[in-house]
Homo-oligomer: A and B are copies of this chain.
Amino acid sequence: MIFSSELIKGTLKTILLKLLADNHKMYGYEITQRVKELTAGRIQLTEGALYPTLHALEEEGLVTTEVEYMGKRVRKYYRLSDTGMTRKDEKVNEFADFVATMKILLDIEVKPA
């Protein structure tokens, strides 16, 4: 079952920041694959959503980029900045609090990973 896109709304930046915090540097396509893998295919990032968001993160100064060539093929790597690391912590904490709040509202059990 793939999650409805509505659910993922608002969490994309958080996911990207966290992945970049864990992996030092990643490129766009790699991110889509990693997320798919980590979520057993239940979250599939589309390029139309991913690239604009990565660009936005760059404009906000949360990531820096560097281009590498694999043969003739371009890869654009994204790396978290210090500001980005701080923001990542904020975002992840906010999401954790949000979930705690939603648990009360929806009266759900969240299974341990």
Which residues of chain A have a CB within 8 Å of any CB of chain B?
1, 3-11, 14-15, 18-19, 22, 35, 38-40, 42-43, 92, 94-113
Contact = CB atoms under 8 A, between A and B. Distances in A.
Contact of A105 (B39, B100, B106, B111): B39
A94 B3 contact: yes
A94 to B, nearest CB: 7
Q: How many copies does the complex hold?
A: 2
Main secondary structure of the interface of A (DSSP, over half): helix
A102 B106 contact: no
Contact of A10 (B6, B111, B113): B6
A84 to B, nearest CB: 15
A104 to B, nearest CB: 5
